[in-house]
Amino acid sequence: QQTPKSIIVIFGATGDLAKRKLFPSIFRLYRENKISEDFAVVGVARREWSNEEFRGNVQKSISNLPTFGKDAEKFASHFHYLPFDVTNIESYQNLNGLLSELDEQYNVPGNRIFYLAMAPEFFGPIASNLKQEGLTATKGWSRLVIEKPFGHDYDSAEELNEQIRHAFDEDQIYRIDHYLGKEMVQNIEVIRFANSMFEALWNNQYISNIQITSSETLGVEDRGRYYESSGALLDMVQNHIMQVVALLAMEPPIKLTPDEIRSEKVKVLRALRSVTAEEVNDYFVRGQYGKGVMDGEEVIGYREENAVDPESNTATFVAGKLMIDNFRWAGVPFYIRTGKRMTEKSTEVVVQFKDLPMNLYRDKSADLQPNLLVIHIQPDEGITLHLNAKKETGGATSTPVKLDYNNSSDKMNTPEAYERLIYDCMLGDATNFTHWDEVALSWKFVDTISEAWSKEKATNFPNYESGSMGPKESDKLLAENGFHWWSVK
């Protein structure tokens, strides 16, 4: 399906996100004919670039895509640049003039996407200036796309939300969580709701625990300044991980519409057992990477990184036990963990089913393992079902076997998360964006933890070596309940 004709305005067009994700995604949509020839992208940022410089940059950003070819120049010709001061009203007036011209030039009926890929402190003022200067008052539609972080706690998020809600309605606001654009995250819903065999077992009678791991090998790179104030809890848990939990735990929606799906996700977040300040360390573990060896190279610890306090209290690793107090999930821990500088780059969900009520193979030297459903989100995309089957030799004993479905055979052509999300936004489908209610509940849950951790200095930091799977306390969190993290390669 081709998207309606529209103009995308990117705030922060000289930045990293635009270069790494947005331009390549728009290019792929263009190549796949999902965007008509009648489209324009306007890049705005502080720098005094010309259209030519901007277009050169756009071309560079797509030059390593496999489909790069003679179209690249034509594609880049749709890009226009405007030097912009977000605090100066005149900038908005200039932009308005340019957008009207481009509407004419490309036959666009006033449809506009304002994509804010820049420092969050400007989200509110930009939104209100856009409205005040009439940029949203066209015959077509206007949509606002917002990158994270959406606030740094509940209060700041609410304040930000109020600011943007003065200018845009909730259904015009597209809050990006790029995990919701990932193929296998979107697949959670299909695996659950298109298979009778899983849905019937998807509850506390048959599932003993669920584990979500999102590990990274990279350290904080050049983002020390941002990361110091966020840490793994705000950077990954509050948004991406909570969204995955909600998708795994939600009730079947009555229809696959954005409102129905979002309202089921909201119910999960409302059912999350809140943790008091005193209980935080019973449910959550924090870690910070020290130095170590990765790929045969020595790497420095977090406290030695650029723009990081040498005594930093920031967690680069978080593990937690989430309890969802509703009928379906009472008693089933959802274990989560995420961190930087871990052994491998991988995101995976493991659903561990309960042991059988009686083990007939116990005395026969059988290696009877619990059934697992593993959802591989990245880098592999697919699912693996761990079962037990008869061992060829040795009579009535069992051996673990795996049923594998690999979704990543055509990686080159599977759309990237950002490509999907930009496409959805152009079509007006907000299913895979976060509603304010989800953001709010997720902040309320996370706030207690971050407050407790900011008050109490972690005396044991750094407490995990670069290249490891995090501090040992993270293993204890599961061991207390008789479980362990599955490493399911």
By beta-carbon proximity to ligand BG6, the closer residue of 91 and 468 is 468
Q: How far is the CB of 453 from ligand BG6 (least distance, A)?
A: 18
> Residue 252: how many CB atoms within 10 A of its CB?
14
- Output the CA–CA distances (angstroms, integers) from residue 4 to 12, 35, 108, 109, 421, in the order listed: 24, 8, 9, 9, 15
> Are 290 and 312 in contact, with CB atoms under 8 Å apart?
no
CA distance linking residue 232 with residue 214, whole number of Å: 11
What binding mask, one character per residue, do residues 214-233 give for ligand BG6 by CB under 6 A, x or -? Answer: --x-----------------
Q: Which CB, 103 or 348, lies closer to ligand BG6?
A: 348
Judge whether 394 is annotated as a binding position.
no
Among 113, 167, 115, which residue's Cα sits nearest to residue 140?
113
- Minimum distance of ligand BG6 from residue 216's CB (angstroms): 5
> Does the annotation list 178 as a binding residue?
yes
What is the DSSP-derived secondary structure letter of residue 14?
T
Catalytic residue check, 240? yes
Annotated binding-site residue? 245 = no
Alpha carbons 260 and 254: distance in angstroms, whole number:
7
The residue with its CB nearest to ligand BG6 is: 235
Select which of 78, 152, 166, 240 is catalytic: 240
Q: Which is nearer to ligand BG6, 183 or 216 (CB)?
A: 216
Determine whether the annotation assigns residue 136 to a binding site: no
Binding status of residue 305 toward ligand BG6 by CB under 6 A: no
Would you say 216 or 419 has its CB closer to ligand BG6? 216
Closer CB to ligand BG6, 21 or 262, in the complex: 21
CB of 12 to ligand BG6, least distance (A): 15
Residue 235 within binding range of ligand BG6, rule CB under 6 A: yes
Cα separation, 74 vs 487, in Å, equals 47
d(CA 460, CA 317): 13
Q: Is 340 annotated as a binding residue?
A: yes
Confirm or deny that 392 is annotated as ligand binding: no
Quote the tokens at residue 230: 């966020």
CB of 221: closest distance to ligand BG6 in angstroms?
A: 9
Long-range contact list for 477-485, CB < 8 A, 24+ apart? 477/285, 477/319, 477/320, 477/321, 477/335, 478/209, 478/321, 478/333, 478/335, 481/209, 481/333, 483/208, 483/209, 483/333, 483/335, 483/352, 485/211, 485/213, 485/335, 485/337
Min dist CB 1 to ligand BG6, Å, is 26
Rounded to the nearest whole angstrom, what is the least distance from the CB of residue 235 to ligand BG6 in the complex? 5
Candidates 379, 279, 287, 373; CA nearest to 338 is 287
Rank residues 14 and 347 by Cβ distance to ligand BG6 and give the closer one: 347
- Is 19 assigned a ligand-binding role in the annotation? yes
Size of site (CB under 6 A) for ligand BG6: 3
Please spell the DSSP secondary structure of 317-372, one letter per residue.
EEEEEEEB-STTTTT-EEEEEEESSBS--EEEEEEEEPPPSS-TTTTTT------E
Question: Does the annotation place 87 within a ligand binding site?
Answer: no
HSE-up (13 A, CA, CB side) for residue 321: 21
Could you say whether residue 447 binds ligand BG6 (CB under 6 A)?
Answer: no
Catalytic residues: 240
Residues that bind ligand BG6 (CB under 6 A): 216, 235, 347
Annotated binding-site positions for substrate: 178, 182, 216, 235, 340, 345
Annotated binding-site positions for NADP(+): 12-19, 46, 85-86, 148
Annotated binding-site positions: 12-19, 46, 85-86, 148, 178, 182, 216, 235, 340, 345
